[in-house]
Amino acid sequence: MTDFAATKAMFDLPEGVIYLDGNSLGPLPSAAKDRVANMMTEEWGKMLITGWNKAGWMQKSTAVGNRIARLIGAEEDHVIMGDTLSIKVYQAVASALEMNPSRKVVLSDNGNFPSDLYIVQGLLKSLGAEYELRVVDPEAVAENITDDVAVLMLTEVDYRTGRKHDMKTLTAKAHEVGALTVWDLAHSAGALPVELAGCKADFAVGCTYKYLNSGPGGPAFIYVAPRHAEVARPALSGWLGHEAPFAFDLDYRPGRGIERMRVGTPPVIQLTSLEAAMDIWDQVDMQDLRAKSIELCNLFIAEAEAACPELELASPRDGDQRGSQVSFRFREGYAAMQALIERGVIGDFRAPDIMRFGFTPLYIDANDVRAAVAIVKDVMTNDLWDNEAYKQRAAVT
């Protein structure tokens, strides 16, 4: 069984803080400080540019991708790191559309993260007026997977409510009508077991700065199924995705397999930080993590509802139907969250009225949950949120 007390000791967690926002930004793995410092002084500092060869910097994108592959049920050598999640969404959707040229519809839902929708809107405008982004309610996705859909693009876990799509069922339905799938795992990777190969997903993307704890601005990843790896053409034809980048040819030739999905220079410092986090993940069984996550979320829901009847549960009550977060609606959710943060319980807010709490068993336990609920009860029962200072919106909510 996974020793979650041991993993908790591997993070730098500020004294007096209960951190329930790892679904937005994971905390600092203690080992990352020395690992990054060593990379900067011993590799960058002493090796200078020779570090690309001597320290293996160029191979990090694939090596780290393979470590993440275990957590998302992907085949070896079919996950590559680099760039941002928005860029990886663009790559995946553009490639999938080109592989389905007779169709012009991308289907998504209104629970998707807006950035994914923005990226597709921009892509489709570039492709022409005949292309359409069709957005439906999450519950209506299955019935809208029709034979004019080219690509089904969904975030597996809704960033606001934690509602979880059935990847296997929806992927199978998409394939039945000849559509390809792009799954965003931003709130899945490190939160719950994912089986990309088992579900026969076509493409998947995700970030690493949430549950995977790579640090702010950490690199994203992209997965391409083996059956597509030599076919999918990268719309963003970056030099490191070239078959022979250091031949400096003037014409692009895609690299082999997943390597063609490289775009720019690997972010070596952040990949080094992510390696330190992956050392923790290597000790975690994803089934153990999922069971503990559901247990913690269920405890939080039961205790919070008993203590604070004014909070309305926005997440699915059934643990199997949600990710590793719990969301409550409250009319002054932003102010209430600021009051909680000032008292040491850090969650976050999503418009218009969602108070969002993430539960990561790697460093959150039942004692943390009960202590957090006691503070939530104090803030809600005594209207401590009703303070003008708490109602002034910051740039990041």
In single-letter form, the type of residue at position 75 comes to: E
Nearest Cα neighbor of 207 from 181, 193, 189 is 189
pLDDT recorded at residue 12: 96
Contact 184, 205 (CB under 8 A): yes
Active-site positions? 113, 184, 209-210, 356
In single-letter form, the type of residue at position 107 comes to: L
Cα 47 to Cα 392: distance, rounded to the nearest angstrom: 48
Name 185's Cβ contacts closer than 8 Å, sequence gap at least 6: 72, 155, 156, 194, 204, 205, 206
H or E stretch including 327? strand 325-329
Q: What are 80's strand-pairing partners? A: 222
Q: Give the CA dihedral 231, 232, 233, 237, nearest 10 degrees.
A: -120
Cα 305 to Cα 343: distance, rounded to the nearest angstrom: 20
Cα 304 to Cα 380: distance, rounded to the nearest angstrom: 10
Cα 273 to Cα 215: distance, rounded to the nearest angstrom: 7
Question: Does residue 14 have a cis bond before it (omega within 30 degrees)?
Answer: no
pLDDT recorded at residue 163: 98
Q: Would you give the distance in Å from CA 318 to the centre of its chain? A: 21
Name 121's Cβ contacts closer than 8 Å, sequence gap at least 6: 133
Cα 52 to Cα 63: distance, rounded to the nearest angstrom: 14
Strands 325-329 and 18-19: what pairing? unpaired
Query: How do residues 363-397 score in pLDDT, each as one tens digit?
Result: 999 999 999 999 999 999 999 999 999 999 999 98
Name 140's Cβ contacts closer than 8 Å, sequence gap at least 6: 109
- For 245, 317, 337, 384, 387, the CA distances from 391, given in Å and listed in that order, are 52, 29, 10, 12, 7
Contact 177, 147 (CB under 8 A): yes
Query: How do residues 150-170 score in pLDDT, each as one tens digit?
Result: 999 999 999 999 999 999 999
- C-beta atoms surrounding 88 within 10 Å: 29
Helices within the chain (DSSP H only) = 4-8, 30-38, 46-47, 51-54, 60-71, 85-98, 114-127, 167-176, 196-199, 268-281, 286-307, 333-342, 366-381
pLDDT recorded at residue 397: 84
Place of tokens 């209506």: 140
**309 CB-contact burial (10 Å; exposed 0-12 / middle 13-18 / buried 19+):** exposed
pLDDT < 50 positions in the chain: none
